[in-house]
Structure 1
């Protein structure tokens, strides 16, 4: 199985940036734009975590999004990984696996490209490599990740970050393999309970994997080795990465480098189908929250299971709760980061409405890790009406991806409180032309905090 990684790595080592598939390169540009927006939007809510990482050591020349200081590559990627995932607005996958490629790949790619003076094309190639690897590892591991109750992005972030940073460092095939296997041999477990319990440690999950991946590529560069059979040897990780999906698909094909779902709701992807159904219902029907007698949410097994684990609401756990997120969406028509501030979590109108929401598993969506991620919402009103909406997938799903204009609007909306509109627009313009840039220094200047 280590040969599986080597085949993917060989493809990207041998493919110059200007020979990438157009669809993959364009999606990498869109993912970069979206992830940078997520980073810049989260600075205020991550202050304590960022201060902790900064206390481990400063200086080093790598940008932390929205901040006025720099860090060495690994801590900078750690910080940006934290920011990317903090608001649960970061991208996910369109092939049903338990990974979030953006927060695992792009922080490492940015730090490594900055410290090694990479071109925009080299950055885009590394992102394509990272997304393909992330999705492929997810296909192999998702069934066991779900079975063991783990948080997929935390488990898979390290090898993806190691591979991406190693490629940008210029590691040869052997050292790149060692970076990959070192990172996997030291990868964290990341139980999903930190999310449903609302523990602070969940905030570090993906970012810690990114940090570990960066350290692994640095270790490999110095000649350190990892297990040669990390995915297929005795006493290895072969029982975790035991799936067969994707094994027969050659590297660079199958769409794994651009199998992405972008998120418009600031919550776990498990609630997005329900939020989409509610949004459609509110557009079609006229009713107020005060008219609602009860709400039925019928959705896929995994969404029901993890929502049911939430006992106490806080800014982390509430993002998995179908009753709470549905109550906010039915009231406001949007699910923004503001819904998860402490004052919002205490709002009696949200809490009262959430008690009227009943969640049940829909057998029509199938079972297992790769079940269909649809939802049916039924709302009973006090005027006698029973209104209903069914969706097969969440907004911006694989059949209805956002346009560039949609992603630009999201970027400007979520960053509005943290950076000036003129600066945000300048950054958007530069992110749109990244593949053509030979020098990325101006990009990193715009990503950093504006000098006063």
Structure 2
């Protein structure tokens, strides 16, 4: 058989496999009796095909709508910050076919470009959600990719909800399969690694690829997985927004659009020699990519932030504000502050030049002002405010090995020594917004309203919130365009 004949035969076989998978019941690809570690690519691809047509449990659908709304809040508010403004200006200069909207802007561009710009906006202000288990930020890449592809294809709100659930699963499961700490140990960005697969899952679902197309899209996305731990040195939050969100959203939508255009690729990139897992991990667990698909949904497990700051700071802020409130503390009452965070958080939030990722500065801000607003957390000038500087000089941030708790991986302890010699302590094990301490729909709506009303106006903000809360009734996502235009 010649190479040409072999390729043709293979394509015929794969086409038949895709037809069988598309007709099979939900989840059957995960229960075909394949031995552990075998055909992970195929089992994942078949699940991706089936998941788009299967209703989600009500609680999962509600969690998806909440994360979509929360990410939209991040996108709209981030569009007016430095990383978002830079991204939108760059994308506007590229032009492109009008397929999808750029949030809070009056123009449309290609789905790939829109996904990049909107995702950088989504991680511009540190208010996007976070997975405590893997420490991924799935929303800021998954939701922009879903919105761009849905607008391009004219998909419904229900289809977007299912696509987002799939994207969250793929982002978090990839890191579980690789080992998130092992990824970081090789100087790679686990957040950037996860974001590609989150965007892939959402975009591929909305493109309605068959099994063969899913396999190729997985491969094209795997080839683009990148990101270095060096993002911690970014003092402007611009490259960080790209690494955590924009890069992944762009890559996932690019992979899917290439497959839509008929490009072929590698059939089994997650299996065998030279596969993604062994390339990126010294101790991979490929089965983690498919274990529990269809029964465990990571979108229900991510934490929605109450403060628009780096996630390791959520617990310390909750703790210090609780102490201030309960003890009636004033700045003059404070002699010193010891903030304990997990040891792996110190290098991220211990001494950052960015105000929204600097734990000592934000704790000082909270003690001086009694609150941490969106505007204040992003105000560079406050890092030079004499009263806040004086308080920050009293704050010490240390890593505490006891807080490296897999059951509560982002807890925090604040100990305040008062001027009269008392020691006050508060341990926030689960900050508000976690699955153990969830935000009510009313509090989430209020958070998003505060983020988007200054950009879109109060009336449009309320209409957008109402539309997303009823997203499963939206027939065509293009109908939301007017609500996202400033």
Aligned to 1:221: 260
Matched, 1:113 2:155: no
Shift of 1:86: 0.7
**Of residues 45, 49, 52 in structure 2, which corresponds to 1:13?**
49
Secondary structure of the structure 1 residue equivalent to 2:345: helix
Q: Deviations over 1:169-228 (max 9, x none)?
A: 121111112112111112222324445644632221120221111111111223334444
CA contact (8 A) 2:88 2:102 kept: no
Shift of 1:265: 1.0
Q: Distance in 2 between matches of 1:399 and 1:412?
A: 24
CA contact (8 A) 1:292 1:382 kept: yes
CA contact (8 A) 2:189 2:226 kept: no
Matched, 1:265 2:307: yes
Q: Distance in 2 between matches of 1:158 and 1:359?
A: 33
Give the 3 Å change call, closer, same or farther, for CA 395–159 of structure 1 in structure 2. same
Matched, 1:61 2:99: yes
Shift of 1:7: 2.8
CA-based RMSD of the aligned residues comes to 2.3
**Of residues 355, 370, 394 in structure 2, which corresponds to 1:318?**
355
Matched, 1:27 2:69: no
Secondary structure of the structure 1 residue equivalent to 2:454: coil
Matched, 1:251 2:293: yes
Aligned to 1:170: 208
Q: TM-score, normalised by structure 1?
A: 0.91
Shift of 1:168: 0.9
Which runs of no fewer than 5 residues in structure 2 stay unpaired? 1-36
| Structure of larger gyration radius | 2
Shift of 1:12: 4.2
Matched, 1:404 2:446: no
Aligned to 1:131: 168
Q: Distance in 2 between matches of 1:190 and 1:445?
A: 37
Q: Deviations over 1:211-262 (max 9, x none)?
A: 1111111112233344444334444432435444845732111232422110
Q: Deviations over 1:77-108 (max 9, x none)?
A: 111101111111011114x2121111110101
CA contact (8 A) 1:155 1:190 kept: no
Q: Deviations over 1:339-376 (max 9, x none)?
A: 22222222122222212111222232237x88732211
Aligned to 1:378: 415
Q: Distance in 1 between matches of 2:120 and 2:293?
A: 29
Matched, 1:83 2:121: yes
Runs of 4+ in structure 1 off by over 6 angstroms are: none
CA contact (8 A) 1:185 1:226 kept: no
Matched, 1:366 2:404: yes
**Of residues 417, 437, 448 in structure 1, which corresponds to 2:454?**
417
Shift of 1:442: 2.2
Secondary structure of the structure 1 residue equivalent to 2:313: helix
Which runs of no fewer than 5 residues in structure 1 stay unpaired? none
Aligned to 1:333: 370
Give the 3 Å change call, closer, same or farther, for CA 375–266 of structure 1 in structure 2. same
Secondary structure of the structure 2 residue equivalent to 1:146: helix
